[in-house]
């Protein structure tokens, strides 16, 4: 998993509330167990019409936001069913951070396991960043995980809270497998000791 330290990028405004996981990645795309390739189907029913053509008005189809790495969203982002494909699709598209007032718990935790930073800020600060995002590609938002700050395009700085363990994992690029591999010497020592104590196993 890639480390997350700092990020400076275009933020796409998505002011809808209650964007659920079926809107993020519709159920027909859940057959794969691969983490890659889902970005093209991110927000599929909002991005494409019935003929599979792009809907020009959708934010991620607009030229200014095609390379967006940050989403500024409405309240309760990622609600609905607990599909890990939702953060997979966001990450595969190129989204590294999301800014909202709240998230569904399972989605929130899945973000960290997939190298994304979900930031919680008060409504008034999200509103400022939403307006900032509407300025397009010239308005870049900067995120510093170490200092736990978000800086708007015009220099306003907002602080956010994050669980220290989740912060550690992102800063060091550690998913569940990476955390286990950190203990590989202890695991090897335990297995060697267990093998000596119980050679019949």
Mean pLDDT by 10 residues, the chain (201 residues): 94 97 92 84 96 96 96 97 92 97 97 96 97 91 98 96 96 74 60 70 65
Q: What angle do CA 15, 20, 21 make, to 5 degrees?
A: 130
The answer as to whether 73 is a domain residue is yes
Q: How far apart (Å, rounded) are the C-alpha atoms in residues 154 and 139?
A: 8
| Residue-level pLDDT at 50 | 93
Q: How far apart are the C-alpha atoms of 86 and 107, rounded to whole Å?
A: 8
Assess if residue 118 is contained within a domain.
Answer: yes
Distance separating alpha carbons of residues 69 and 90, to the nearest angstrom: 9
The pTM score is 0.88
The whole-angstrom separation of Cα 181 and Cα 184 is 5
Total domain count, the chain: 1
Please give the residue range of the domain that contains residue 72: 6-172
69 occurs within a structural domain = yes
Predicted local confidence at residue 197, as pLDDT: 74
Query: d(Cα 198, Cα 162) in Å, to the nearest integer?
Result: 44
Angstrom distance (rounded) from CA 5 to CA 171: 5
Q: Is residue 186 part of a domain?
A: no
Rounded to an integer, what distance in angstroms lies between the CA atom of residue 78 and that of residue 75?
A: 9
For 164, the token pair is 């220290």
The residues with which 119 forms a beta bridge, in sequence order, are 99
Q: What is the pLDDT of residue 192?
A: 60
Domain CATH number, residue 137: 3.20.19.10
């Amino acid at each position: 998993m890639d480390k997350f330290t700092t990020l400076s990028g275009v933020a796409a405004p998505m002011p809808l509330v209650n964007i659920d996981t079926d809107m993020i990645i519709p159920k027909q795309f859940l057959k794969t167990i691969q983490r890659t390739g889902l970005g093209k189907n991110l927000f599929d029913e909002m991005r494409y019409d019935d003929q599979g053509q792009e809907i020009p008005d959708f934010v991620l189809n607009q030229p200014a936001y095609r390379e967006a790495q940050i989403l500024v969203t409405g309240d309760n982002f990622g609600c609905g069913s607990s599909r890990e494909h939702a953060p997979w699709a966001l990450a595969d598209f190129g989204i590294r951070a999301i800014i909202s007032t709240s998230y569904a718990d399972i989605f929130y935790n899945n973000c960290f396991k997939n190298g994304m930073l979900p930031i919680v800020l008060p409504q008034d600060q999200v509103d400022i960043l939403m307006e900032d995002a509407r300025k397009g590609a010239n308005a870049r938002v900067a995120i510093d995980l170490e200092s736990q700050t978000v800086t708007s395009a015009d220099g306003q700085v907002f602080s956010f809270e994050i669980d220290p363990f989740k912060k550690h994992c992102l800063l060091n690029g550690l998913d569940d497998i990476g955390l286990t591999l950190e203990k590989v010497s202890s695991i090897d020592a335990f297995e060697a000791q267990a093998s000596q104590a119980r050679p019949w196993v």
